[in-house]
Amino acid sequence: MCKYTFRLLPAFFFLLFVAMELQAQTNVEALIDKVEPKVIEWRRDFHEHPELSNREFKTAEKIATHLRNLGMEVHTGIAHTGVVGILRGGKPGPVVALRADMDALPVTERTPVPFASKVRDTYLGQDVGVMHACGHDSHMAILMGVAEVLSGIRDNLRGSVMFIFQPAEEGAPPGEEGGAELMLKEGIFDILEPEVVFGLHINAQLDAGKIRYKAGSLMAAADEFKIVVHGKQSHGSRPWSGVDPITVSAQIILGLQTIVSRQVDLTNEPAVITVGKFSSGVRNNIIPEEAEMIGTIRTFDTTMQRDIHKRIERTAKMIAESAGATADVHIKRGYPVTYNNPELTRKMLPSLFKAAGEDNVLVTKPRTGAEDFSFYALEVPGMFFFLGGKPHDVSEFDAAPHHTPDFYLDESGFKLGVKALTQLTLDYMGME
């Protein structure tokens, strides 16, 4: 063999490598195109047969069967109904975790689609309609599609993928544990420890075909509070002979609103304090002995979170004391801040550009909603983003919000969800 042939060999192998990579990319795109109708079919099936938190038994069975049919190692019964599928690639590399949530809501559906839910169940002792009114049906279907696509290139996969199908994202029923926190407590990251975790959430106010993301604090921490005001019962015609807990509670409710508007530096991060329920009394002419209010606290910064908790307790107790009443304040921490690791987000942003086109990837403001994906991102670097599900001919203001009977999704956006999670996985593995 002449010396010129030796000189040409590196170039030949480089071109061969490029050709193989282009062929692999073409195969992935073909697999995504092929799975799209299945994703829509799966989503419609989940939508028509929703199940409430920690009760996703049939849903879990469908998912587990699909993953087993793809030849995966499948773990079931985690956190009651959770399913984890492990896809081990043919080549060494990192472990990437992908997560979808499974539960529906106690909402009676009103959308005029042929696969609308007619399911009813019992929630907190009441007979309720059940609906996928937050898009978790689409999350499951999209992740099942990603599982099928990546299984199709298993031999060339440079690493392993953990597919997490999680129950009870909307919160476990009273007296039960559930969701991401319980899945971690029961050791899913002991099965296979991922380097990173990715997730998405459909957004009914964002055009199908678009993505929104934010580095750092994306969604709020969600804490609960309960304030019980103790007064002195008396006849409604003689308020001076007692201590009216309703009037005191009204002053506390107004005082709580001044914490955010007048006491917290909102140039740092936003915050919200909302009283969602108030109860007291039994009839019109009795000043009751007690009043109770419950509500939510949303914060994006742990220092602000601690400060606001202290201010809520001080405000309630001091206002009550000023009127001769007392107040018991109970604050329960809930979901942490959903935090996108800045370095991971910077590294993976080109993957979203490749999936959606750079013009279709937008930066979002912080969202005061909460997500228990946050628990996974406390364990390993995480990245969470919003996927558009709004029809283009509907304005953002006319689109029905999440958690409502008219919640509706444009199914044409699901393919981008499959493409984005697939692209993130392959690029993180170095298969761009």
Q: Looking at the annotation, which residues are catalytic?
A: 335, 411
Separation between Cα atoms, residue 58 and residue 50, nearest integer Å: 9
Phi–psi pair at 22, nearest 5 degrees: -65, -40
Residues 430, 431, 432, CA angle at the centre, nearest 5°? 95
Tokens 């914060």 — which residue? 299
CA atoms within 13 A on the CB side of 121: 18
Beta pairing class for 82-88 and 91-101: unpaired
> Amino acid identity of 86?
I
Cα–Cα distance list, 336 to 277, 315, 373, 392 (Å): 23, 24, 9, 33
Separation between Cα atoms, residue 412 and residue 300, nearest integer Å: 33
Separation between Cα atoms, residue 176 and residue 333, nearest integer Å: 16
Tokens 């899913």 — which residue? 188
Phi–psi pair at 188, nearest 5 degrees: -65, -30
DSSP string, 219-265: E-EEEEEEEEEE-B-EETT-GGGSB-HHHHHHHHHHHHHHIIIIIS-
Separation between Cα atoms, residue 173 and residue 187, nearest integer Å: 21
Separation between Cα atoms, residue 326 and residue 319, nearest integer Å: 9
Tokens of residue 59, six digits: 């849903």
Burial class of residue 323 (count of CB atoms within 10 Å of its CB; 0-12, 13-18, 19+): middle
Contact 64, 145 (CB under 8 A): no
> Which residues, including other chains, have CB under 8 Å from residue 105's CB and lie 6 or more apart?
50, 52, 130, 131, 132, 133, 134, 170, 403
Tokens of residue 323, six digits: 């009127």
Phi–psi pair at 307, nearest 5 degrees: -65, -45
Beta pairing class for 382-390 and 196-207: parallel
